[in-house]
Structure 1
Amino acid sequence: MKTSSLRFYSLIFAELCFLPILFCCNFFLNKISSKDYSPNKKKRKLVHDNKVYINIHEWGGYPLKRTKSVSSIPQFECGLEYQLQRFNSARKNIPLLINITISDIEKSPNIDYIKKDTDNIDSVDNGGMDFSGYSSFYEKIKNKENAYVILSNTSVNAIQEDFLGSHIKYMEDHPEVGMLGVSYCTKIIQTFVRNNFTPHLQSFYILTTIDVLREVVKLNGGFPGVGIDHKLLLIRKGEINLSTLVLKLNYNLAVVQENGEVYQFGRNSVLDNSFNAWKLYFGDVRLISKKPNRINPII
């Protein structure tokens, strides 16, 4: 059994052993949580470089266009071609650096096509999947002046919107936001402790800054999710942990909803998980989305 698989099943076994205690703790924390988010939030450092650094991660075996199928979520078109179209359109108005990371790059027949529409291509290991690409890109930019960073993969809905300017403006106006995304889930699904409240941004599109990523890496002792090749563990230790770390740093998270409105959320304290302050749908929002994984502009 691979190390990541062993880690995941060991974690699940430990949770099963303490399931009654964990369930009661979550019930208690959810019950006593406050109905309002704390206004005392950390503020991000100013951005000094107006260039937006973008990393799109891809697996070499995917075609440029594909259909994404996830259980209980409507199918949608996606793929690297749509991502390149999206960001090359945005760079007409905003200076961008578009970097592509590809795992199992030898499986891709499209390298020449990709080169035409991007600034750089990096081959990365498939251990860590998307987070292998994200961490590799972070290593390239971590010593640059503070700037906005987008971490994304190719499972983004093909629908094209003029979104980036509104996302950047929102971040400029709201320095209390450490990360902005376009989709969320309120719980860890990969667990038997079903009453957990763990709101997090889904990592197919994340807007943050170099400085916030530096803080995350310092707090975590490394980039989240690196080297994990078990998908369920990667969701917990990569995607969910990334949001959790930003909340621990006392920033808020923000999600752009389908209607273009933004919802901010945070964590008040270790003993106040803000369960009663939550105002949106509980669970994976894609279950009720008309166009899941779509990047919507802010109205």
Structure 2
Amino acid sequence: MRQTIQSPTILVNIHEWGGYPLKRKKSVSSIPQFECGLQYQLQRFNYAKKRLPLLINVTISDIEKCSDIDYIKKNTDNIDSVDNKGMDFSGYSSFYEKIKDKENAYVILSNTSVNAIQEDFLDSHIQYMEDHPEVGMLGVSYCTKIIQTFVRNNFTPHLQSFYILTTIDVLREVVKLNGEFPGIGINHKLLLIRNGEIKLSTLVLKLNYNLAVVQENGKVYQFGRNTFFDNSFNAWKLHFGDVRVISKKPNRINPIV
């Protein structure tokens, strides 16, 4: 079970590459193109900030390429320049170093590949975590296998890292178990998925927490250590593979209903 939350402030980190415009289109193989970008993320969390106590931090790699820094400054609490090695995980690990000694609080790690569609989601996500202390991390998208592997038909369910809700204490446990924040120093995109995104979920499961994913219909599916380590295909009730392939609106943050 997770440790009790001590601080009411929700700590949000949005990672961005400095060369991206505030609004952009994202194209992924076999997945419908969608609108995304930092402007939509800032709108999303500043709207939530009207009702909930949020601290919004933005980490930017290759910040010298950023032409919209004034807009970002006006719409966030803080900006940090970070190294591009590790990509999103460079920002996530840098933010963790800033908050690791604070009182336990909810943490959101996100990038700018989130679908532009705006939903009133955060209250429902926080309430779910409050009601389910067995959950170490909550996401909004998943994949059930390591795509880049020689192991055929492997079953490795994990949360995709463009949006993760967790706590400082869970991140502390992850880093203690792993020796460092997952994904640090990796340049190769496919290796980063394996050693950053997938490893983060794997470590949370090894710590005996469950992972939760908010489906497109607003319902939550939980999976835990037994599902992961027993290769229990029969226990898995959702789509196999990358869920974004069948999603009507991929990378959208859906509210829980």
Whether the TM-score (by the shorter chain) exceeds 0.5 is: yes
- The whole-number CA distance in structure 1 between the counterparts of 2:166 and 2:229 is 27
SS at match of 1:46: coil
SS at match of 2:225: coil
Match of 1:104 among 62, 74, 77: 62
- Give yes or no for contact 1:80–1:154 (8 Å, CA) kept in 2: yes
1:240 is the counterpart of 2:208: no
> How does 1:170-185 map onto structure 2 within 5 Å?
170-185=128-143
* Equivalence for 1:282: 240
Unaligned runs of 5+ in 1: 1-42
SS at match of 1:280: coil
> How does 1:1-299 map onto structure 2 within 5 Å?
43-268=1-226, 272-299=230-257
- The whole-number CA distance in structure 1 between the counterparts of 2:36 and 2:228 is 38
Q: Give the RMSD, CA atoms, in angstroms.
A: 1.0
* Equivalence for 1:12: none
SS at match of 1:290: coil
- The whole-number CA distance in structure 2 between the counterparts of 1:47 and 1:126 is 32
* Equivalence for 1:38: none
Aligned length: 257
Q: C-alpha deviations, 1:228-252, integer Å up to 9, x for none?
A: 0000100000000000000000100
Residue identity over aligned pairs, in percent, reads: 85
Larger radius of gyration: 1
SS at match of 1:77: strand
- The whole-number CA distance in structure 2 between the counterparts of 1:119 and 1:143 is 19
- The whole-number CA distance in structure 2 between the counterparts of 1:120 and 1:235 is 27
- CA apart distance, 1:267: 1.7
- The whole-number CA distance in structure 2 between the counterparts of 1:81 and 1:291 is 18
- CA apart distance, 1:273: 3.4
CA gap 1:194/1:213 in 2 versus in 1, 3 angstroms: same
Letter in 2 for 1:93: R
Q: C-alpha deviations, 1:5-53, integer Å up to 9, x for none?
A: xxxxxxxxxxxxxxxxxxxxxxxxxxxxxxxxxxxxxx10010101000
Worse overlay, 186-195 or 97-106: 186-195
Unaligned runs of 5+ in 2: none
- Give yes or no for contact 1:217–1:223 (8 Å, CA) kept in 2: yes
- The whole-number CA distance in structure 1 between the counterparts of 2:32 and 2:98 is 36
- Give yes or no for contact 1:183–1:202 (8 Å, CA) kept in 2: yes
SS at match of 1:87: helix
TM-score, normalized by length of structure 2?
Answer: 0.99
- The whole-number CA distance in structure 2 between the counterparts of 1:194 and 1:118 is 44
Q: C-alpha deviations, 1:248-270, integer Å up to 9, x for none?
A: 00100000000000000012288
TM-score, normalized by length of structure 1?
Answer: 0.85
- Give yes or no for contact 1:267–1:273 (8 Å, CA) kept in 2: no
SS at match of 2:226: coil
- The whole-number CA distance in structure 1 between the counterparts of 2:195 and 2:163 is 17
- The whole-number CA distance in structure 1 between the counterparts of 2:219 and 2:229 is 29
Letter in 2 for 1:104: D
